[in-house]
Structure 1
């Protein structure tokens, strides 16, 4: 059950609290932002220092992204996938986060149609056979037996993450990654028990949540990043997943009782990535991060694929408020959390935690500074030039001096 509601006293976001079974020092989460610092699919010193700095900056929970459940579940072969060889490095990483007083969360998932099948040397997966642009291929649609194996793979990966010292797990059910592709009526055209009705389309994600909870037990916090809107048409043959269906899925998750919270998100890495990243659309920089056909495709199709959505603080709040009205379980507000005002707005609207991303890339110590001085404002300009850096070494180019402030 949510620890707050719109009519309850507004909590102090910087006071100790709990997320499920996990005590945390405050209600601020460093959200999952792929770091691009694992060239050999293993933890590096750069990755450890990146998260240590963010933990030292004052967040209560630091989320490591992206931890794939299998080699084929990565967007490319350089990402970590959870296997025994990765454990020692991950233990060093979680120890660094714990050393700064924060809790460590692992975002676990399967990239599905967003995976690069050529780089991974494994087929990209999706609910149905659709184009997978990263590998210029067509996805494989797993049958019921393969889905059961994937559920087991998620559970095994969850155990490895906990063995490596993670206090919490975030299940990636967003952005049209694998679980999200099953939720979408646009991407899921199946005629079996995993397609058609919303209950069927949500079956895979619910089975994963149940298996992960059974694998890690009651003492590990588990939440899901859940799309509210794919950024696709809400009616007609191209209709994607929308907030009305997201509310229904959230109710199903709540009734199942396996999750401690939901983090509402939006947009599609496959179809409309900028719906999550409101602000400037760095089309040239994105194209320059690729080679060959992808580079030219982004140069030509950038205005269509990378749309512009004006930035406002707490820009996902209007959609997330509908989930807040639909369920009583804790919710984490993501999107445009940059100052004490946006944090307090989230708390006043009944959200239990807030998640920060780009603002922390600009200033990792922003939470500590806001706690000390509520008038502190973020220096993030929402230029989104950080986004193309995920393919090399995630950073704020303004902070590093690569582009002028």
Structure 2
């Protein structure tokens, strides 16, 4: 007698509860890290709390606080949240506010490396070697072994503090040509020591960083790694190497889930986002001479790419086939249909960015009517608002910063 064929398991409901490492989420939707531009002097503000309270109240399973710097020289903006004792009270107020809405909250940990702002930080930016940054018009300092050890240790210290102030998860940023990602890039990393050359060496910093976070927090909170699949730059880190790094992270046991991303904040920032490249809007918020450079040469740096729903799926499914780790699909998640596609492809979670800037209550609306689709038109005019408080200009053309902010009175 022939055995009865095994029926494929039904894809999970993206709006049903799910586990992420030690964490139980009320559903499988995550507010992706979109830099808010709403911290001040490295501290939480009421505006930042409101920013994350809205998607939490709108139904997401977890919201992600974008880019919390592990070291002073790792900030892309001098006002970014910096992990230090002075920030603890505000961070606790933030996590409490999100928990009160029934959602979990994650903190993105990172060191910007060659993308950092040396002028604002009053310290040279770090890279695997000497790298020119077109926006800051500066050269990085080649990271010494002492610098590397310091940054790795700082990730562990930051993760430990994240537990203390109530975060449910941390997202270790290994993408976008920030420090760990710049070491992964064969184009940017020309070192001839243990951190350069072979992929195993170029991946050493990323793996040590994730390991430091795991050693610091154990299984008290969930650990997500945000890893590039493609820098979008000729000669940069690409999918074939990303598959191997993902396998190593799984073998190391240092992370609970992977969120795959793409693009280079250093050389091709629009590659991640797809859609329009609003050059005039970027130029309007830039100081001179960067403003003039954007107007004259912006199309070379801020290139537009066609948008389609689930635009990272084709590459991400190749990572999915190589690892058993839970995976979060990022990029063009705009509807229940896309969520269901992700689940059917074997992804356990979805991450939503611009769609939730447009409609923070989108998850609730989809739960009420599966035909609902995001109203986001992918104009990307939200991106230049990073400098004045990230928001959808179609909802609020002015943004969240008022007179109290300009007077410096909004830090909690």
TM-score by length of 2: 0.94
Per-residue CA shift, 1:339-380, capped at 9, x if unaligned?
011111100100010000000000000011101110001110
* Alignment pair present for 1:284 and 2:280: yes
> How many corresponding residue pairs?
393
Maintained 8 Å contact 2:38/2:389: yes
Q: 1:133 to 1:401 in 2, by over 3 A?
A: closer
Counterpart of 1:307 in structure 2 is 303
Q: 1:149 to 1:7 in 2, by over 3 A?
A: farther
Structure 1 moving runs of 4+ over 6 Å = none
Residue 231 of structure 1 deviates from its aligned partner by 0.4
Residue 8 of structure 1 deviates from its aligned partner by 3.2
Distance, in Å, in 2 between the alignment partners of 1:401 and 1:67 is 26
Counterpart of 1:295 in structure 2 is 291
Residue 9 of structure 1 deviates from its aligned partner by 1.8
Counterpart of 1:339 in structure 2 is 335
Q: How does 1:170-319 map to 2 (within 5 A)?
A: 170-233=171-234, 239-319=235-315
Q: 1:307 to 1:390 in 2, by over 3 A?
A: same
* Alignment pair present for 1:400 and 2:384: no
Per-residue CA shift, 1:129-158, capped at 9, x if unaligned?
111234321101112222112111111111
Maintained 8 Å contact 2:127/2:143: yes
Residue 402 of structure 1 deviates from its aligned partner by 5.5
Maintained 8 Å contact 2:42/2:81: yes
Counterpart of 1:3 in structure 2 is none
Distance, in Å, in 2 between the alignment partners of 1:377 and 1:402 is 25
Residue 128 of structure 1 deviates from its aligned partner by 1.3
* Alignment pair present for 1:132 and 2:133: yes
Q: Secondary structure at the match of 1:123?
A: coil
Maintained 8 Å contact 1:194/1:204: yes
Per-residue CA shift, 1:234-285, capped at 9, x if unaligned?
xxxxx10001100010000000011000100001111111111100110111
Counterpart of 2:363 in structure 1 is 367
Residue 401 of structure 1 deviates from its aligned partner by 4.3
Distance, in Å, in 2 between the alignment partners of 1:390 and 1:157 is 23
Distance, in Å, in 2 between the alignment partners of 1:117 and 1:359 is 32
Residue 202 of structure 1 deviates from its aligned partner by 0.4
Residue 44 of structure 1 deviates from its aligned partner by 0.5
TM-score by length of 1: 0.95
Residue 39 of structure 1 deviates from its aligned partner by 2.5
Q: How does 1:84-99 map to 2 (within 5 A)?
A: 84-99=85-100
Per-residue CA shift, 1:299-358, capped at 9, x if unaligned?
111111111111100001011011111111111000000001111110010001000000
Tell me how large the CA RMSD over aligned residues is. Answer: 1.2
Structure 1: stretches of 5+ with no match in the other structure? 1-5, 234-238
Distance, in Å, in 1 between the alignment partners of 2:167 and 2:158 is 12
Q: Secondary structure at the match of 1:400?
A: coil
Distance, in Å, in 2 between the alignment partners of 1:274 and 1:95 is 34
Residue 288 of structure 1 deviates from its aligned partner by 1.1
Q: 1:143 to 1:91 in 2, by over 3 A?
A: same
Maintained 8 Å contact 1:41/1:81: yes
Maintained 8 Å contact 2:163/2:220: no
Q: Secondary structure at the match of 1:292?
A: coil
Counterpart of 2:386 in structure 1 is 390
Maintained 8 Å contact 1:124/1:132: no
Structure 2: stretches of 5+ with no match in the other structure? 1-6, 400-412
